[in-house]
Amino acid sequence: MPDAGIRVRFAPSPTGHLHVGGVRTALFNWLFARHHGGTFILRIEDTDRSRSTEENLGFVLDALTWLGLDWDEGPPAPGYRQTERFDLYRAHAERLLRAGRAYYCDCPPAQLEAERKAAEARKETFRYSGRCRDRGLAAGALRLRIPDEGSTVVHDLIHGPVVFEHRQLDDWILVRTDGTPTYNFCVVVDDVDMRITHVIRGNDHLSNTPKQVLCYEALDYPVPQFAHASMILGPDRSRLSKRHGATSVQAFRDEGILPEAMVNYLARLGWSHGDQEIFTRQELIERFDVKDVASSGAIFDRTKLEWFSHEYLKMTDGARLAAMAIPFIERAGLPVPADRARLAAMLETLRERAKTLVELVEVGRFYFERPREYEPKAAEKFLTVDGAQRLQRLIELVQAAEPFTAEVIETAVRALAAELSLKLVDIAQLARLAVTGRTASPPIFQVLALLGRDETLVRLRAVQVAIAR
C-alpha cells in the first residue's frame, strides 16, 4: 500500500562515471520509493575534494536522467551536497562529545600504522586500543566510544539478522584532526536529517552498518531499516571491474544499449518476479519488493543485456528510433537524411537485425552511403555480362514504376523474372547487391522504395559501369 512516509536515498560520490553497481542501487531505491508512493532523494557525497568535480557530478546526473530515474529531492536544490553541510556535522560531533559518547585522540598516525601491521602479522583484526578514551583531550581526531561488551544486531531486509560483536569493532573516527568528518559519520547525520526510513545499498557497506547503528543510538535517533543488495560479479565471480569490460552507464549508452533495456536488465540482476523477463516500467514499480532481492552475488552477463536491448529495439517505433539513432549515424560519419519520416521507416526495417543502436546503424549503412565495394563471391556470380543486361532491364523497370512503392516494384520485378525465365531471387539478389553491396538486407523492394527512384538509378548505373570496366 502507498506509504508517503517512506524516504530512501541514493548517495553517489561524484568521482567519475556512474557504474552499473551504483546504478542498480539507485534503481532499487527508486523502485522501492515509487512502489510505496514514497520519496526518492539524490544526495551527493562530495567530501573527496580532489576527485569530486562538477564534471563528474554532471556524469552522475546525466546517467540517472538517461535511465529515467527522476529524484524528488536533490540537486540542483541546495543542501544535498555534503560540502554544504559541514556545520550540521560539527554540531552533531559536539553533541556526542558533550554526552561523553565521543572523545579526542592524539595518537600519531605512525604509531597506529605500526599497531595495525602488528595485528596483521598476528592475523588479527586491528582494533584501536582506546588509550585516549579517558585522557580528557581537548583536540585531535574525534572517535566514537564503542561499548566494550555485547553486540549489535543489524536486522537486514535481505540477509536477516546479522550479529556484530563489539569486541570486533573499532572506536572509529568521526572527525579527522583537520576537522573534516568521515564518511560513516556524514552518512548517519545526513540520513537522520533527511528522515531516511530505509537504507538500500550494496553488500560492501554491510560491515560499516554496526558502526553506523551505534552512532544512531549514541545520538538517540531512530535507526532506519537496512537492505544490503548482493554485489554484481564478473563472469569469473570476482567483483565486476574494468577488466571485465565496460562497466559505466555512459559506456553502455555509447555502445547503443537502450535505456529501458538497461533498467530492465539491472532490475533482474539479483531480483526476480517468477519467470518474467520483460517488464514495463509500471510493472517494475508494481511488482518490486526489496525482500525479493537475492542475498547471493549476481553475475553480470553482457550477452543477456544485449538480448534485452534487442528485444526493446524490436518494440521501439521508428520515430523514437530515429531520434535515438541520429547521434550514432553522425558518429559513424554518415549523412543524416533530412526527411525524418523516411529515416524512421528505414530504421524500422532494421530493428530486427540489431542488438544495439551502433549495430542498427552499421547494418543499415547502405541507406546512408553508396556501396564502396561488393561482396566478392556474389559479385563473381551476379556482376557478369548477363548481369549487365539484367541491370539494364532493372533500370528501365525502375524508371517506369509508378508510383515508386515496394508493392509496385515487386509486381514489376516478378513480371520481369517470368519474362526472362528466371527465379525471382535471381533478379532480387542482383538488385540487392547493386544497391547495398551485400546479399543480406531487409526486404529489397522496401529498400528500393526507401532509397527512392533517383538514388536507386544512380546505384544500378554505377554497377553497370563497374561491369563494363
CB 202 within 8 A of CB 228: yes
Instruction: Provide the phi-psi class of 169: left if phi over 0, else alpha when psi is between -120 and 50, else beta.
Output: beta
Report which residue type is found at 28: F
Q: Which three cell numbers stand for residue 320?
A: 523514437
d(CA 143, CA 182): 10
357 within 8 A of 379, measured Cβ to Cβ: no
What is d(CA 10, CA 46) in angstroms, rounded to the nearest whole number?
13
The vertex-141 CA angle with 137 and 144, nearest 5°, equals: 90
Sign, CA dihedral 294-295-301-305, equals: positive
- Tell me which amino acid residue 120 is: E
Cα(414)–Cα(427) distance, rounded to whole angstroms?
9
> Are 226 and 157 in contact, with CB atoms under 8 Å apart?
yes
**DSSP annotation of 240:** P
Catalytic machinery residues: 242
Q: How many residues does the chain have?
A: 469
Instruction: Please list, in sequence order, all residues whose beta carbon lies within 8 angstroms of the beta carbon of residue 6, skipping any fewer than 6 positions away.
Output: 32, 33, 36, 37, 38, 39, 197, 198
Distance in angstroms between the alpha carbons of the first and the last residue of the chain:
76
Q: Cβ–Cβ contacts within 10 Å for residue 140, how many?
A: 17
Between CA 71 and CA 65 the distance in angstroms is 9
* Angle subtended at Cα 308 by Cα 302 and Cα 313, rounded to the nearest 5 degrees: 125
Contact 380, 467 (CB under 8 A): no
Residue in 366, 356, 341 with CA at minimum distance from that of residue 256? 356
Residue 191 CA to residue 188 CA, distance in Å, equals: 5
